[in-house]
Amino acid sequence: MLNYKHIKLLIWAVLPLLGACTEPWNNPYPDTQRLDNTLYSSFSARPKHLDPARSYSSNEWTFIQSVYETPLQYHYLKRPYTLIPGVLEQMPKVHYYNNAGDEIAAKDRQSAAFSRYILQIKPGVMYQNHPAFVEKNLALSDDELSSINHLSDFSEIATRELIASDFVHQIKRLANPKLHSPILSLMSEMIVGLDDLNVELKKVKGVLDLTQHQISGVKVLDKYRYSIKVNGVQEQFLYWLAMPFFTAVPPEADVFYAQQGLIDKNIVLDWYPIGTGPFQLTV
């Protein structure tokens, strides 16, 4: 027969189980979003930059790594950490060259003057739907812009396929003097032609169109392949390819967000990134 002490212990054992059967009483999210595919997160400091050319803080990468996809990524389970293809079809192929431009064997790479990485992206990868992919949204009148306060105010959105030139465009953006990329100095020592491009862009007056400027060490080979030429042998360069600095940014993003009517309302790439990842910032 149960005595008072046993009953008291039973109550204390059952109470936590009863609590687990109900929704948290202080759930801040509406019931309508309970089953939505929505990622909720918290951060201790307000993110300053969500532009992959500028972002350099871990609290910012919490957001943009869910929006953008990088060429390489880390295997989720393997230890020690191991690089695997992200949005690439396979690991980059590396070729080594001497000062005369002749290719040398990988076993002799320590004497190489340059290394060339060939990267091939997966076909069929699509961007998140965004108004920047609607041509008429790239040159809106002042009257049209006056009625836009959020991205959701655009009546037409579209998407397109990710292509190799988008990755090349982002590398050019690292040299854009207006963006003040925190890795420009370091990457200028690695990537051939990046410093020269930075010097060239500093002389541009007015609107900067990166599609009209080239970088000698970074080339589009075809729709899904591009190459990066670096000085000497840069064994650590592969790890940089797993960072958001080397994700893809479509040229349409720069044109769309350059409209003054959007800038005045802080509707900029630094707050509204455009990527191919599983999540999208909408507010």
**Band of pLDDT at residue 148, cut at 50, 70 and 90:** very high
Half-sphere exposure of 36 (CA within 13 A, CB side): 10
In contact, 104 and 98? CB cutoff 8 Å? yes
Q: Can you give the pLDDT at residue 21?
A: 58
Distance, CA of 234 to chain centre: 22
Task: Specify the residue for token string 């389970």.
Answer: 77
With a pLDDT cut of 70, the percent of the chain lying above it is: 88
Instruction: DSSP letter for 126, please.
Output: B
Lowest mean pLDDT segment, chosen from 14-23, 162-171, 209-218:
14-23
d(CA 123, CA 131): 22
At residue 1, the pLDDT reads 54
pLDDT at 27 over 80: no
Residues linked to residue 94 through DSSP beta bridges, in sequence order: 117
Beta strands in the chain (DSSP E): 72-74, 83-85, 93-97, 103-104, 114-120, 218-222, 225-231
What pLDDT does residue 11 have? 67
Given a cut of 70, whether residue 22 has pLDDT beyond it is: no
State the average pLDDT over residues 24-42.
70
What would the pLDDT profile of 201-210 be if each residue is shown by its tens digit?
999 998 899 9
> pLDDT class for 14, splitting at 50, 70, 90?
low
CA distances from 114 to 38, 106, 192, 231, 272 (A): 45, 12, 9, 5, 37
pLDDT of residue 107: 94
Enumerate domains of the chain plus CATH numbers: 60-263 (3.90.76.10)
Can you say how many angstroms the Cα of residue 70 is from the centroid of all Cα atoms in its chain? Answer: 6
CB-based contact 137:154 (threshold 8 Å): yes
C-alpha 11 chain-centroid distance: 52
Residue 193, pLDDT score: 98
| Complete edge-to-edge strand list for the sheet that includes strand 225-231 | 103-104, 93-97, 114-120, 225-231, 218-222
Position 72 scores a pLDDT of 98
- Any idea what DSSP says for residue 47? -
Quick: pLDDT tens for 115-132: 999 999 999 999 999 999
In the Cβ-directed half-sphere of 34, how many Cα atoms lie within 13 Å? 6
| pLDDT classification of 97: cutoffs 50, 70, 90 | very high
Q: What is the mean pLDDT of residues 208-221?
A: 96
Q: Which pLDDT band, with edges at 50, 70 and 90, does 30 fall under?
A: confident
Q: Which helix (H) or strand (E) holds 146?
A: helix 142-146
Among 246, 239, 237, smallest CA distance to 114 is for 237
Of residues 191 and 56, which shows the higher confidence score? 191
Tokens of 112: 């190489």
Q: Which residue has the higher pLDDT, 108 or 57?
A: 108
CA 132, chain centre distance (Å): 16
Q: Which two tokens stand for residue 148?
A: 């836009």
Sign, Cα dihedral of 262, 263, 267, 270: positive
**Is residue 2 predicted with pLDDT exceeding 60?**
no
